[in-house]
Amino acid sequence: MEDRVGTRGVFIALVGLAALCPALAAAQAPAPAPPTTALAVSRLMTGESFEASMNQMMKMVTPAMSAMMAAQLKRPLTPAEERTLATAFQRTFHHVYPQTLFEAETAAMLTRHLTDAELGELLKFYESSVGVKMMALRPLLLQEGERLFKTRQQQFAEHLRGELAREFPR
């Protein structure tokens, strides 16, 4: 007598899961620690500018998040709701990407693309007076870049609509 699920089906599923376990364990295993130089570079890149970078990112994604939420609620958001949405995003970002994790992942990314010698040169640059100045200017440069983009945002959107209409005719 065979049950509804089928013993054979359950057995195949269990064998499949057993075969996947080593791959899943490897995928969840923590990555090896990046070299000290890469971590130092990542901390210089994200340290004091981490909050400023996050705030700039929030300014870029907040309009899209507000529009999605308004569509979901089927009404415009109040200013208080927009602030609440931004606060929820910020809390979530800090929860999912605490600064130490963000720095470790940045360091791991750097080690995939730069040699130890290149990382050493980069660290020397960031510790130089020009590098220190660039890191101090980073939040300001991000703001100025955002303002520059906004001056042509409408032109960009119109041109992109034309390009998309040309590439994807109905």
CA distance 98 to 95: 6
CA 9 distance to own-chain centroid: 40
pLDDT of residue 31: 53
25 and 37 both lie in a single domain: no
The domain in which residue 93 lies consists of 32-167
pLDDT of residue 98: 84
Number of domains in the chain: 2
The three-point CA angle 10-13-18 to 5° equals 125
DSSP state of 131: H
6 and 80 both lie in a single domain: no
25 and 96 both lie in a single domain: no
pLDDT of residue 78: 93
Q: Which of 163, 168, 50, 59 is nearest to 106 (CA)?
A: 50
Per-residue pLDDT of the chain (170 residues; tens, 9 = 90+): 444 434 444 344 444 444 444 443 444 445 555 568 888 887 777 766 677 667 767 777 788 888 888 898 899 999 999 989 888 888 888 888 888 888 888 888 888 998 888 988 988 988 899 988 888 887 788 788 888 888 888 898 889 889 999 999 87
List alpha helices for the chain, DSSP H. Answer: 7-28, 36-46, 50-73, 79-96, 99-113, 116-127, 129-151, 153-167
pTM over 0.75: no
CA distance 17 to 22: 10
64 and 6 both lie in a single domain: no
24 and 80 both lie in a single domain: no
15 and 99 both lie in a single domain: no
53 and 113 both lie in a single domain: yes
45 and 23 both lie in a single domain: no
112 and 156 both lie in a single domain: yes
Q: Which of 109, 93, 110, 92 is nearest to 53 (CA)?
A: 93
